[in-house]
Structures are given as structure tokens and as C-alpha cells.
Chain A
């Protein structure tokens, strides 16, 4: 069983997101260990990019902070490799296509494997373009985690069939960011995904409260939270380890209440 599959064996999975190198790489490394300690089942690490078109303002600013602090793809790989001494839960990269392309697709996946990255989520690489990266991912055993959105509709089957690792279900239209309400019929969307694939399904976009996480995870296999955590990092900077760990702990506790 892959590391990613195991992450879904411990009840509903809680998957926090942080932008790598925000506010600096040292803090990111501490955050990874602290979030694992606090109950995270998997961590999504954003590879900083100058133009993150799927992100709302909160994560855009995190990307800017990380780049301004000197984070590069090489330094990020080094940090992850070092963090792996303490961190055993699966780690996945959220990265736009261009940082992979510029680094060299094969070289990028090889470094992922060496550093202990289990999968990649590429928001600007839809199903139609997956062949751009699929062979290199496969060569190094890196899962290509597909994204399904409220507009996917009849595309769901074809996308879900090719899934590796898990399936990322986007709860809402638009970009990442905290939302008061999630209006999509996520239950129905996930049910549709399940018909086409046995891969675990995690829901993200717009989740910030334990109630929202419970509501999303009770119809799926887990909840992904990004902006709410990145906001804490923006607020507390290098002192964000404790508040982020407390938040992750609270969210995971919330998910433990779900029975099934």
C-alpha cells in the first residue's frame, strides 16, 4: 500500500496546505513536523510560483513572501529531504506546470522521489494535458493527483479513471480562499466520482471551520485546508508553529467525530 493510501486508513483524513518557504524554509520545515504531530494525515506543500492563477489573495501573498525570502525549487527539495528525517506522513506538491517544466520534468520527478514527495497536484494541467507529465511521474512512482470541480460534470468519469493517489474534489467555483458557505452539492459530486474510481476522495477549497471540514469529510474521505492555515502563517510568521499545530489538532479532532 502506498503512503498516500495509508493516509486514508486513520478515519477521515485531514490534509493541511502550506506554501513552501513561507515565511522561510526553516519555518516550513518546523511546520511540517508540527502538523504531523498535531494529527495531519498528509500535507500539501505549495511550490512557490510568480503567477498562481488558481489561488485567491491569501495564497498569492504566501507565494510572494516565499519567493521574496529566496525560496527556489532546489532549496525546497533540500528542505523536504531534510524534513523527511522526522516526517513520515505522505507529502504532496501543489505546483503549477511551469516550475516543473523549467526544472526539467524528469529531473523534477526524480528529485521528488529522492526527497520523499509522494504525489503532485498541478492546477493548470487538466486531463487533456496529463500526458505532458504522466510518463515522468510514472517512471519515478510519483502519483498524479487529479482535480475534479463543480463544472467537471460529464468529465468526471474520464478524469477519475486515471487517478493515482487520491482525487482532489474542489468544493466551489473560483479560486482558493475561505468561504462562509459551500454551495455545491459535494455529496452528489463525490458519489459520481466513486462510481468511476476506488481512489480516496478529499475535498478542498473554502474550508476553514471544523463544522465545514466535518460536513465535507462526512461525504468523502477527507478535508483539505489551505487559506485558513496560510492566514495564520501570514499573521504569526516564524511564530506560527504553535497556532498552526493547535488549529490542525482542532480540525483533526473535529473529523474524529464522524462515524463510518
Chain B
């Protein structure tokens, strides 16, 4: 059995052209994660550039309104570039630089990971090219310009369904074309080993901070941690430190689109089956012949037909629970948090807020729930307006 397994999931199912490159990343990461100088530099960037630690905010109005568990919001939306993506990207781009790479490439869905990668590349002086589905470049035109402003070249991907999965395909193809000087900065806990591990390690700072901040404030661990799941990086970051703490419920919220029974959804845990794709064995939305299904969600960041291998394992073992949230529920939660707390969450994070609204009232008031607000919602305002029938274009 190959390396990088999470139960039967994970592995390195990639073209031979990339094997040496991936092993080079694995070796370099194995070295630098134990290098105090590297980790010191990263910590400096987290504190002085990204704005860490991110706040853990007690959502008092929401808590009172829902009448159950005490609700805290982990404010990853306040990070530089507006989401948790910066945590991973600063780590990987710093790693690329240490490895002597001069160029980074990345896929992006909504544009959060693309913007974060372009930002880190600008900061560290590396060339940057971003692959984004044509459909998403149209939906998120502002983010395309933002990436270009940061010095990145953005490729609109016109193959397949022209969304996130096709952006990953094209980034992998590009990496096989030009592998020597380039690192593919994967944006989620997915792809071939070592990426699910590296991205998790750079994101686990979220749960480490939650633990520390909550111990200071409440002197105890949370009872539930709720996060949205596409590939699963913010959820893995929010869960990781608590996996060994059996009293903490870990709940991932995937995108049900128009409903789990409607073909237009992206709920991989609910509807997916085991498969091998994008470098990993995991769960995927696919047909009986293994053709990857076109998926749909109002949230471009959750619009992905697979899930990271470690989540697939946490699902199998029952350590984490996964629920599906529809577009309608997510939009309602987007509006709810905006009005209840004056915080506009990313439409991705709104999926977690939507489930919290269902769960919190069922929990006793002495219990504590943490919702990971993985990103801010400014990017989504125009799309939500359109969803509500208001014709605003960026």
C-alpha cells in the first residue's frame, strides 16, 4: 500500500510525470515542518501579515435568538484576503520558495484560493498562474481582476463543466507541462499525498486557536464544531485538534444545491461513492461507470464532486458527522447572520451557519458550539442579490 493513507482512502493516483515532483514536495515538507527557522517565518507571517490569531467571537444575539447552545464564531473571515485559504497558501508558497521554485500554479473555484495564492506569490516574489473554470470567471469577475491586480495570470478553463473540477484538471495538466520550476499549490485537503496532509497541517492552526481561546474564555472544550465542506480544508482545520477529544461533535456541512434528491447538488457524502480521481481514493459524485458527475451549488467554493480523503475516513469511522444544506437554507443563513450579528459570511460558510441554526436550539444552554466562519461574504453580495431577484452586477 502506498503512502498517505487515511483508512482505505488517500494515496498518490497521479501521472508518472508528476511522481518525482510530488515526492520532492513530500521530502521538502518533511524537512521544513521540523525546521524552527521555517516555522518561525511562517508564524511571523501569520501574525504580522495574515492577522492571526483570528478572533473567537461570542455571538450573543444569535445565541439568545436560537435559545440553545452558546455560540462562538471563529472569524477566519477577518484574515488577510478574507478567508482561511491564506493559512495554507502562506505555508505552501513559503515552501515553494525554500524549494527553489520560481513559479506557483493553483486552481480556484470562487476565487478565494486563487486570490490568496496570488497574494502570497506577490509577497514572496514568485510568478503565479491561476486556473479557474470559465463559468466561475464569469460569476466572479471581480476576483479575476483582483488576481490580475496582484500580478497573477488567470486562465479561464473551457473544458468539461468549466467549474472547479475542470480547473483542477487543467492545473494538473499544466504541472505536467512545466514541473521543474513550478509548485502546484493545492487549495484543499485533497489531491495526491502529501497535499491532504500538508494542507491539513497548515490549516490545523484554526482548531489549535479555538481550543486555546475557548480554554481562556470558558475553561473548557466546545461540545460541537460546525464547518462547511467542499474539498474540506476549513473543516479539517477546525476539526483536527479535536479528533482525539471524543466529547466534541464534529459536523461538516456540504452543499445540497437544490436538494440531495435533485440532480443539481454537490453533496458528496450523501450521494457519492468510492472512487479514484484527482490523485486520491475518496468519495465522489459519479455515475455507475465512474464518470464524474457535474455538480452544482450556489457556492462556487463547495461546487466540487469529491471530498478530501481524511473526511471520507472520518465519515466512515463515524468520528465526524456530515449534513447537507440546500442553497435556500444557505442564503437564508447568509442573511440571518448579516442581520443578527452584523457579519456577512461567505456563502460557503453560510452552509455551516444554516446547520447551526437547526442544531443550536436542540442543545442545552450550558453547551458550547463553535461555527467556523471560513470566509467573508463580500464576494457573494451580487450573487445573493440576484438569487433574491435584485439585478446587481459587479
Contact = CB atoms under 8 A, between A and B. Distances in A.
Contact of A151 (B173, B179, B277): B179
A258 B187 CA distance: 49
B289 A72 contact: yes
Interface stretch (B14-22, B41-49, B129-137): B14-22
Given A151-B179, A173-B176, A173-B177, A123 B276 contact: no
A232 interface: no
Contacts of A102: 273, 275, 286-290
A99 interface: yes
Interface residues of B, number: 40
Interface string B1-38: 11100000001111111111100000000000000000
Interface in B255-302: 273-279, 284, 286-292
Given A53-B169, A123-B15, A98 B292 contact: yes
A151 B284 CA distance: 30
A155 B290 CA distance: 30
Given A51-B165, A51-B169, A98-B277, A127 B16 contact: yes
Contacts of B100: none
Interface in B159-211: 159-160, 165-166, 169, 172-173, 176-179
Contacts of B15: 53-54, 123-124, 126, 147, 149
A106 B6 CA distance: 23
Contact of B20 (A64, A99, A103, A152): A152
Given A51-B169, A53-B172, A148 B276 contact: no
In the complex, which of the residues B14, B15, B173, B289 has the most CB atoms of chain A within 10 Å of its own CB atom? B289
Contact of A173 (B160, B165, B178): B178
Interface residues of A, number: 44
Given A128-B2, A131-B1, A151 B290 contact: no
B99 to A, nearest CB: 16
Contacts of A132: 11, 13, 276
Given A54-B15, A103-B289, A174-B176, A129 B20 contact: no
Contacts of A128: 2-3, 11-12, 19
Nearest to A146: B16
Nearest to B176: A174
Q: Which of A72, A125, A129 has the most CB of B within 10 A?
A: A129
Nearest to B17: A149
Contacts of B14: 124, 126
Chain B facing A: main interface SS: mixed
A199 interface: no
Contacts of A56: 173
A57 B169 CA distance: 12
A148 B16 contact: yes
A97 interface: yes
A129 B17 contact: no
A236 to B, nearest CB: 23
Interface in A25-82: 49-51, 53-54, 56-57, 60, 64, 67, 72-74
Contacts of B21: 151
B291 A50 contact: yes
A124 B166 CA distance: 16
A173 to B, nearest CB: 6
Given A102-B275, A127-B16, A51 B160 contact: yes
Nearest to A130: B2
Contacts of A129: 2, 11-13
B75 to A, nearest CB: 36
Given A51-B292, A99-B289, A124-B13, A175 B173 contact: yes
A155 B19 contact: yes
A170 interface: yes
A147 B16 contact: yes
Contacts of B3: 128
B134 to A, nearest CB: 14
A126 B12 contact: yes
B19 A127 contact: yes
A242 to B, nearest CB: 30
B105 to A, nearest CB: 13
B308 to A, nearest CB: 17
A67 B292 CA distance: 12
A107 interface: no
A26 to B, nearest CB: 20
A149 B289 CA distance: 29
Interface in B71-121: none
Scoring B18, B278, B290 by chain A CB atoms within 10 A of each residue's CB, the highest score goes to B290
A96 B291 CA distance: 10
Given A124-B276, A129-B2, A174-B177, A149 B16 contact: yes
Contacts of A153: 20
B196 to A, nearest CB: 15
Contacts of B165: 51
A67 B12 contact: no
Given A98-B275, A174-B177, A126 B291 contact: no
Contacts of A155: 16, 19-20
Given A50-B160, A128-B2, A101 B275 contact: yes
Q: What 5 A-B pairs have minimum CB-CB distances, sorted nearest first?
A: A102-B290, A174-B177, A97-B276, A98-B290, A50-B291
24 contacts: A51-B292, A53-B172, A72-B289, A73-B290, A74-B289, A97-B13, A97-B276, A99-B290, A102-B275, A123-B16, A126-B14, A127-B19, A132-B276, A146-B16, A148-B16, A150-B17, A151-B20, A151-B21, A152-B20, A155-B19, A173-B179, A174-B176, A175-B173, A175-B176
Interface of A: 49-51, 53-54, 56-57, 60, 64, 67, 72-74, 96-103, 123-129, 131-132, 146-153, 155, 159, 170, 173-175
